Amino acid sequence: MDKKSVCIGDVITFLDSRVARGLFVDWLRDPHRRDSMNPRLLFLLVLLGLPSWLAGGAPAQELLLNPAFTASADGRLADSWHDASTALPRAAEFAIDARGPAERPAQRVTLGSLQGGLFRLVQTVAPPAPGLYRIRVQCRASAPVQLELVLRTAARPWISYGSVRENLPANEWREVVGYARIPRPLNPLDFVILVHDPATVWFAAASLQAVNEAGLSRAEQARVERVLGPPLPAVDEAQVVAGTEARIQAVRTAPLTVNVVDARGRPLAGALVRVQHLRHLFWFGAGFDWGLLPHANETRVDRLGREAFLRLFNAATVRIYAEDYEPRPGLYRDDACLQAIGWLDAHGLRVRGHPLFWNRAAPRWLEAAAPSADQVRNWMDRLLVHASSTLLPRMDQVDVFNEVVGWDRVPSAMTPVLAGDKKIAAVAGYLRRFQGLNPHTGIVVNDNDTTPEYYHLLRDLIDAGAPLDGIGLQSHMQNGTWSITQLWEMLNRLGLLGRPVLFTELSVVSGAPRAFNWRPADPPWETTPAGEAAQADYLDQFYRLVYSHAAAAGIIYWDYSDRGAWLGCPVGLLRADGSPKPAYWRLDRLINQEWRTHGDFKADAKGRVVVPNAYEGEYRITANGVEQRGEHSARRPLEAVIRVRP
């Protein structure tokens, strides 16, 4: 290759670069530069760059231009960007200044406080074509902050197609790069920048750019997988819905066989056999309400709630938040928790504990002491040992850690214990200790994170040898219900880890839709007939879809009644007066009728009864007054032998 061809190639490469595109856009915006440009030089540059641009290079694929932070007067946000923050105690301050790299203006955002709030800078972009995209922001912060980039739907329910979080050091320009995968033609999307810590942050560039996936290096392919998770098949929502019943039959039923013989083992033809489904293996549960316990001053609403709870559910979550469980150092509220566990046991319900460790629920006395990380670890050790001597062995499973993905973003005495690269090793160590102290209690890690970051955290824990019996997934939907695609992708992704997935905290509103900032509803949020009908339809489909997925193990409805519901949201299956909403009866029909197997059967000439599509569960089988119980599942179908006397 001669020297001339190298120079031309270098020029073409430069023209196809972000730097050149930025300069070209600046030139177009500046009439003085346009007028002073030599026409022959401009023609040469365009001629050399045109083949690359027409070939589908980055400039033609750029959906969000890098200089978008330069087009505003001081004291305002740049054109097309808007502040979509929620619950900020003090409004953000905006300006454009010259602190950007290469003497380029930058958008300046000053956040004095984020206590209880979240700052979001948003720009809506044109509908992108399906494919892989690179999302990035060039930025600098006055203090260490955590920054997050998200590409999501522009309207509720918000669905993320890619995100990345990065910790920025102070006073250093960084380029935060993530990826997004657009599975199908979509409506306009929101490019969202979230800042999780108070500071002054400068943004000099932001871009959304199509990527030729086939041309990525192995290192970049690995980064894409880390950000987006493992490749998943595209979700055809109509096909998923149409196949629901067939999947339920495939994964939740199996032939149940009963052999009736006499004392000598000879088959009893014509024997009458009664098959009774006692309890589902699938967890159909709810959060435990202390009003369920009988008490001297109970009301009609208490009794209605208790009857409805026991009719519908086979499991309950008992809340063991450390701030309530240990209100003073060494003072544990074991008696109340044990009373709840005993009542649930007596009524045949399985018991979950939630959560043992969560840095949003650290005891107030611990926070006030401003302890070192070592002192917090000592406290966590003592809490684990004590609870393992009282509550935990009596529970079927426990959310040992809650919301680990976002643990670093919560200011708490507990946060440094899992900070940074210590997170996986610390969590794995506690899970192993939990297992050693509670060998018969299931270990669950629970989170509200619906991005691939949760998948990778769990994958890292499993690779580190951490015992993990189940994956907990929160699904509070006060700001809009999940789409079928979002639900199915979550189950498909987490299902790859080989651990059962439990929806631990489900909430679906039965009131009129409203913007919700995760604070107590003000004004009060009332249930409505239209909202109740929508809630019933959605939950009917949600339960059917989850029950039909082989990776799912159960659904725990968080607040089964509007009375005392979290944040005053009308999410209950019962109204505040104890009367059932339509959703309650829809779920009752599914759980207690459609998905149960009962019947009286007559043995054939070989003394055998085969129930071809018996739903999974615990069964009582009776023949000639002799009773036998057994567990029946699709993986291990029940084959009962009942020996009767003449």
pLDDT in tens, 583-621: 999 999 999 999 999 999 999 999 999 999 999 999 999
pLDDT number for residue 31: 38
CATH code matching the domain that covers 64-228, chosen among 3.40.50.2300, 3.40.50.300, 2.60.120.260, 2.40.30.10: 2.60.120.260
285, 560 contact by CB (below 8 A): no
Percent of the chain with pLDDT over 90: 69
Dihedral sign for Cα 12, 15, 16, 17, please.
Answer: positive
CA distance 205 to 67: 6
181, 134 contact by CB (below 8 A): no
pLDDT of 549 higher than 90: yes
CA distance 459 to 424: 10
pLDDT tens per residue, range 434-480: 999 999 999 999 999 988 889 999 999 999 999 999 999 999 999 88
What is the band of 399 on the pLDDT scale with cuts at 50, 70, 90? very high
Structure tokens at 481: 């219900």
Range with lowest mean pLDDT among 199-213, 361-375, 423-437, 560-574: 199-213
- Average pLDDT, stretch 423-429? 97
pLDDT number for residue 23: 37
Structure tokens at 85: 């923050």
- Average pLDDT, stretch 24-38? 40
Range with lowest mean pLDDT among 13-17, 510-514, 567-571, 573-577: 13-17
Range with lowest mean pLDDT among 123-132, 440-449, 561-570: 123-132
Percent of the chain with pLDDT over 70: 88
- Average pLDDT, stretch 25-33? 38
Structure tokens at 503: 């929806």
479, 515 contact by CB (below 8 A): yes
Predicted TM-score (pTM) of this structure: 0.84
pLDDT number for residue 543: 98
- The reply to whether 241-280+596-646 shares the fold of 64-228 is no
Of the candidates 233, 226, 234, 231, the residue with the CA atom closest to the CA atom of residue 452: 226
pLDDT of 531 higher than 90: yes
Dihedral sign for Cα 246, 249, 251, 254, please.
Answer: negative
pLDDT tens per residue, range 218-245: 998 998 998 888 988 889 999 999 999 9
CATH class held by domain 241-280+596-646: mainly beta
**Residue 437: how many CB atoms within 10 A of its CB?**
15
Of the candidates 241, 249, 247, the residue with the CA atom closest to the CA atom of residue 597: 249
pLDDT tens per residue, range 243-264: 999 999 999 999 999 999 998 9
User: Which residue would you say has higher pLDDT here, 96 or 603?
Assistant: 603
CA distance 571 to 509: 4
pLDDT number for residue 102: 66
CA distance 241 to 540: 12
210 in helix, strand or coil? strand
What is the band of 62 on the pLDDT scale with cuts at 50, 70, 90? low
**Which segments of 510-576 does DSSP mark as H helices, in order?**
529-548
CA distance 122 to 37: 35
pLDDT of 24 higher than 80: no
pLDDT number for residue 25: 36
| Ramachandran category for residue 423: left, alpha or beta (phi over 0 → left; psi -120 to 50 → alpha) | alpha
Average pLDDT, the chain: 88
pLDDT tens per residue, range 275-308: 999 999 999 999 999 999 999 999 999 999 999 9
What is the band of 33 on the pLDDT scale with cuts at 50, 70, 90? very low
The full set of domain ranges for the chain reads: 3-55, 64-228, 241-280+596-646
What is the band of 159 on the pLDDT scale with cuts at 50, 70, 90? confident
